[in-house]
Amino acid sequence: MLFLLLLLPAQPARASGGAFTYDERLGNQVPLSVHFRDEQADAVTLGRVLGHRPAILVMGTFRCSGLCGLVRGELMDALARLDERRDYSVIFLSIDPAETPADARAALQSDKARFGRPAETADWHYLTGSEPAIGAVAEAVGFRWRLVSSPKRFLHPAGLVFLTRDGGVSSYLSGLNYEPDEIGAGIVRAANDVSARVLPILLVGCGFQRRTRRSAVRGLLIAAGVASPAGLRQP
């Protein structure tokens, strides 16, 4: 059963994200020596926070209470429903060089409260850094985004990147509404250095007003012309 799980490809694409997607770079190496600040303002490298564990990488911003907060919250919910404990790291990397360790710390505290099991969050890392450092990681995993200045917001894809113990890109999970079995499969693949193709990431962005958790996301994507209602995940 495990063997089959590792070899199963991800499902085919259901929607295209246009210009703001992850360029799928399976097997690519993230830069382990680049420096960031963690939520305690300590200088760390990406290699150090990986800690030779498979990892889930989430790129976004901490101050965004809309889409970025929703992505983190949905991941928290899915991890809380995993059928068994697994050895992995979670790395949240801000794409906004103006954000600070204080922003990262506030996001961590919020996510811990939502997750409800603080003892299991020792390997969660919330990082901020310089534009070159952020760009190096973004380039490695194929993350593309754009800053819109008025009002300030970031257009970027929503999703997760699964990294192997040594920082290789194993797989991607797009959009929202993450299921525990999807998360578990991504961790298992990464732990066994398996790469799997997945569906492209949908265009999303920060700074919009939420009406409901999912209807606002759905409305934004449809209004942007990047998806049809049939192409979005259903609750």
* For range 156-175, the mean pLDDT: 88
The CA distance from 217 to 70, in Å, is: 9
Q: What residues form DSSP beta bridges with 143?
A: 22
- pTM assigned to the model: 0.75
The CATH number given to 2-231 is 3.40.30.10
* For range 59-72, the mean pLDDT: 81
Task: Please give the C-alpha separations between residue 137 and each of 47, 85, 156, in angstroms, as whole numbers.
Answer: 12, 28, 14
Res. 148 pLDDT band, cuts 50 70 90: low
Amino acid at 100: T
221 sits in which H/E element = helix 215-223
pLDDT greater than 90 at residue 44: yes
